[in-house]
Copies of this chain bind each other. A is one copy, B any other.
Amino acid sequence: MKIVIDGMGGDNAPYSVVEGACMAVNEYGVDIIITGDEKIIKEELNKYDCDKSKIEVVHTTEVITNEEKPVTAIRRKTDSSMVVALKMVKDKKADVVISAGSTGALLSGGVFIIKRIKGISRPCICAGMPTMEGGFTLISDTGANVDCNKQNLVDFARMTDIYAKKVLGIDNPRVALGNIGTEDGKGNALVKEVFDELKGMDGINFIGNMETREILNGVCDIVICDGFIGNIIVKTMEGSVLSLFKKLKEVMTASTKSKIGALLMKGELKKLKELLDYSSYGGAPFLGVDGGVIKAHGSSNAVAIKNAINQGIKFYNGNVLEEIRNFGGLDEQ
């Protein structure tokens, strides 16, 4: 198996990408292709000690930025590090593509270049939210599909369930429907329809409706929702945690007394902050396209890149694509 990384994507590219790739070669013995500016990438590679025969650099001349319109960028910048990486998966030269670059462009590229798996109504970008217990909860879609129908959400449930089992190693993932109340019959028209479908679905451990206030407490493994709601959940949670930590910092420096108090609690608070650091929870898989696509955080450091590569390895070894193709084929019949 081979993993291709968009060498120029992300805030710290290509530096963290190259460093993370070297770490992954040492740790997992995986074969890696890095796309991007050959000169800079090779210079960076020289800084690290690993089996360089495992890393191939493919030179590209263009870079897609976050400011560009995703679809236009993917169509026009055919020699960009991202498009070339996506094409390698399309052409079976690599099994999984990882990028810390523009999310929009990666999703568009996933659909336009790699293409949807037959029978899957819509692919979804599924991200893990840290919980207070140290684990995390998957949000089925965090922005790929802002307008969904019943079938889309049902497909998200199947795909995230497979991912949780095969990549995260969760035996019997607890699948919940993101809602505004826990009782049956709660929610808007779409959510009510989806509830009935999930309830009757074989092979899924559907535990019912869940209020989003519970997510941080780790009461389920997967929350099913459309990309608009998912994005609202992730950003509201992230914003609340960040704002609260910012305010805590103010509180801690408000008086000499509290400054001393803060100093005494420093170690514990740091642990808590790390626990809730969204960027350390690996990348988000784009499920439903016919190849492995993992979006790493834009601010990924080398360890985050290494973790995303490990995720890619598990994605391949877990046979996730084949599993998704199988049920996609079922729906098609």
| Chain A contacts to B: CB under 8 angstroms | 132, 143, 146-147, 178, 180, 187-189, 191, 211-217, 226-229, 231-233, 235-244, 246-248, 251-252, 254-255, 257-258, 260-265, 267-269, 271-272, 276
B252 and A272 within 8 A (CB): no
Given known contacts A258-B264, A264-B261, A272-B247, is B235 in contact with A237 (CB within 8 Å)?
no
Given known contacts A143-B180, A232-B180, A272-B248, is B260 in contact with A239 (CB within 8 Å)?
no
A-B pairs, 6 with minimum CB distance = A213-B239, A261-B264, A240-B240, A261-B265, A146-B188, A180-B231
Chain B, Cβ-Cβ closest to A276? B244
12 pairs, CB–CB < 8 Å, chain A vs chain B: A146-B187, A211-B235, A214-B239, A216-B239, A216-B243, A236-B236, A237-B240, A240-B240, A240-B241, A244-B244, A244-B276, A255-B268
When the two chains form the complex, which single residue of B189, B211, B232, B244 contacts A229, counting CB atoms closer than 8 Å?
B232
Given known contacts A187-B146, A229-B229, A251-B271, is B265 in contact with A239 (CB within 8 Å)?
no
Q: Give the CA-CA distance A242 to B229 in the complex, in Å.
A: 21
A124 → B minimal CB distance (Å): 15
When the two chains form the complex, which single residue of B146, B227, B235, B260 contacts A213, counting CB atoms closer than 8 Å?
B235
Given known contacts A132-B247, A247-B272, is B216 in contact with A240 (CB within 8 Å)?
yes
Given known contacts A260-B261, A265-B252, A265-B265, is B236 in contact with A188 (CB within 8 Å)?
no
Tally of this chain's copies: 2
A217 and B232 within 8 A (CB): no
A216 → B minimal CB distance (Å): 4
Q: Give the CA-CA distance A83 to B240 in the complex, in Å.
A: 38
A212 and B189 within 8 A (CB): no
Chain B, Cβ-Cβ closest to A216? B243
Q: Give the CA-CA distance A271 to B223 in the complex, in Å.
A: 34
Chain B, Cβ-Cβ closest to A213? B239
A12 → B minimal CB distance (Å): 22
Dominant secondary structure of chain A at its interface with chain B = helix
Given known contacts A187-B228, A229-B232, is B251 in contact with A269 (CB within 8 Å)?
yes
Chain B, Cβ-Cβ closest to A186? B146
Chain B, Cβ-Cβ closest to A239? B213
Instruction: List, in ascending order, chain B residues with CB within 8 A of A237's CB.
Output: 236, 240
Instruction: List, in ascending order, chain B residues with CB within 8 A of A187's CB.
Output: 146, 228
A228 and B188 within 8 A (CB): yes
Q: Give the CA-CA distance A178 to B243 in the complex, in Å.
A: 18
Chain B, Cβ-Cβ closest to A275? B247
A243 and B264 within 8 A (CB): no
Chain B, Cβ-Cβ closest to A131? B243
Given known contacts A237-B236, A243-B217, is B268 in contact with A264 (CB within 8 Å)?
no
Chain B, Cβ-Cβ closest to A148? B188
A264 and B257 within 8 A (CB): yes
A132 and B246 within 8 A (CB): yes
B228 and A212 within 8 A (CB): no
Instruction: List, in ascending order, chain B residues with CB within 8 A of A243's CB.
Output: 132, 216-217
